[in-house]
Amino acid sequence: MSYEANRRDFIKWSAAGAAAGLSSFALADEDSPSGKRVSANDKIVLAVMGVNGRGSALAQTFMANPGAEIAYVCDVDQQALDKALVIVQKGQSRKPQAVKDFRQALDDKSVDALVVAAPNHWHAPATILGCSAGKHVYVEKPCSHNPREGELAVEASRKHQRVVQMGSQRRSRPSIIEAVKKVQDGAIGRVMYARTWYNNRRPAIGKGKPAEVPSHLDYALWQGPAPARPFMDNVIHYKWHWFWHWGNGELGNNGIHALDVARWALDVQFPTRVTSGGAKHRWDDDQQTPDTHVVTYDFGPKTILWEGLSWSAYGPGGSMFGMSFHGDAGTLLLADNGYKIYDLQNKETGAFAGKGSDTEHIANFLDCIRTGARPNADIEDGHRSTLLCHLGNIAHRVNRVLTVDSKSGHIQGDEQAMQLWSREYQPGWEPKV
């Protein structure tokens, strides 16, 4: 069959999947979570945790789905909470409750699902609490702050039979689904290498100074499970990403998106070796995470490379973000707006234009709550892809190559590296399943 005919068939198939919430990508019923499901005639009631930026955007996408309704917006920053409340009130007929502590929403039995868009150190602990309270969870990437949390989040989902979807929305985009299928079906031959990248031009975060906590911020609750640290004036809101105590650097911030697609397309699970190079080069400031980072993941006969450059926006081919898959019969170049296929002479032989959206991913999550199927970015896949970020960061922090068990993902023969597998918690906030 010709490339174009194959492409037309796939577009029809993926469009049908999207219309049904893409449930065709879920596992069979015997592998699916059971428990209470929401009737097809009932709206799925949601609480959104962390609405300063990403959470408000997710709230708008959820509200655009006629099968969803937001009952709570939750944030430790009263200013962010007030803004989100206005956004949600304009987007639906129901007036949501605005609460500082998301656990109030977990106590409400009418709430079906929790959306977690707080900082990274909250992702897994909130997911575990949500599952324990009987809620399904949509958790933003990365799904954990450290590897052990990811394992616990998977355990919580399975124990409580809850649908947990990680916000790696490319798993539900038709153009990317098609590109992955092309890679796996041999369109470029035997694929042995994937290159991924994210480049940006981020400013310096400066030298932080102790300061009074703003009156509109509950800093103790913002820290939550992370051991308490004094308030500094260069951490909140976004700059926490560049401190190990709360964030995972650019690798966990944006690298996760590309690595997830690469791991999916190459059909690999855990690497056998992880090598990290790079450092912090650009600014003399408080940033702890590298601003120039190259990580190599070896999976036996296949390899994935990630490149993160936080101070220069030019990436391969001029793109800030992308992935390329290299086979013995050609190359597939994938970006958010579609993909192109090249032969061994670098001549373009096929292309598909797409667009970036969260719509299909959220529809898939809602559909799986109703059917009990596993979502496109089930927490187990989310954990395995997030683990690549953690392993890359751990290799950077201990400054040596990691040997990894290909069956469990655990680091072998390196006690110092395994000390970074988990973390200390603020007393009373230790995640438990």
Beta bridge partners of 302: 299
CA gap 131, 129 in Å, rounded: 6
- Side chain identity at 141, as an amino acid letter? K
Q: How many Å apart are CA 176 and CA 241, to the nearest integer? A: 27
Q: pLDDT per residue over 14-49, tens digit each? A: 433 433 333 323 333 334 444 556 766 689 999 999
CA dihedral 68, 74, 77, 82 (to 10 degrees): 50
How far is the C-alpha of 361 from the C-alpha of 141, rounded, in Å? 13
Residue 236 has pLDDT above 80, yes or no: yes
Domain 23-170+362-375: top CATH class? alpha beta
Check residue 335 and give its pLDDT. 87
What is the chain's mean pLDDT, rounded? 92
Count Cβ atoms below 10 Å from residue 341 Cβ, excluding itself. 24
**How far, in Å, CA of 302 to CA of 184, rounded?**
13
Nearest to 325 by CA among 345, 308, 340, 347: 340
Predicted local distance difference test score (pLDDT) of residue 41: 66
Residue 33 pLDDT: 46
**According to CATH, where is 3.40.50.720 located in the chain?**
23-170+362-375
How far from chain centre, in Å, is Cα 308?
A: 16
DSSP annotation of 104? H
Q: What is the mean predicted confidence (pLDDT) over 241-251?
A: 98
Per the structure block, which two tokens stand in for 417?
């590296």
Q: Identify whether the C-beta of residue 292 lies closer than 8 Å to the C-beta of residue 310.
A: yes
**Which amino acid would we find at residue 27?**
L
> How confident is residue 106, by pLDDT bands cut at 50, 70 and 90?
very high
pLDDT of residue 27: 31
Distance CA(305)–CA(125), nearest Å, equals 30
Domain 171-206+233-359+384-421 has CATH 3.30.360.10: yes
Cβ pair 70, 51 in contact under 8 A: no
Reply yes or no on whether the pLDDT at 114 is more than 50. Answer: yes
Phi/psi class of residue 252: alpha, beta or left (left: φ > 0; alpha: ψ in -120 to 50)? alpha
Q: Which residue type occupies 163? A: V
Rounded CA gap, 4 and 198, in Å?
30
Pairing of strands 273-279, 402-404: antiparallel
How is residue 365 written in tokens?
Answer: 């999550």
Q: Which pLDDT does position 357 carry in this prediction?
A: 87
- Answer whether residue 12 shows pLDDT above 70: no
What is the arithmetic mean of pLDDT over 317-330?
95
d(CA 72, CA 81): 10
**Sign, Cα dihedral of 180, 182, 184, 188:** negative
Question: How many whole angstroms from its chain centre is CA 157?
Answer: 16
Mean pLDDT of 94-123: 98
Give the predicted TM-score (pTM) of the model: 0.91
Backbone φ and ψ of 72, nearest 5°? -140, 140
Tell me how far apart the alpha carbons of residues 319 and 305 are, in angstroms, rounded to a whole number. 16
* Helix, strand, coil percentages in the chain from 3-state DSSP, rounded to 5: 40, 20, 40
Beta strands in 88-133, from DSSP E residues, in sequence order: 97-99, 113-116
pLDDT per residue as tens digits for the range 352-405: 998 888 999 999 999 999 999 999 999 999 999 999 999 999 999 999 999 999
Please count the CA atoms within 13 angstroms of the CA of 342 that sit on its side-chain side. Answer: 11
CA neighbor of 247 nearest in space, from 238, 234, 257: 238
> Is the pLDDT reported for residue 415 higher than 50?
yes
Q: Where in the chain is the domain with CATH 3.30.360.10?
A: 171-206+233-359+384-421
CA distances to 67, 120, 155 from 429, in Å: 33, 15, 17
Round to whole Å and give the CA distance between 275 and 114: 36
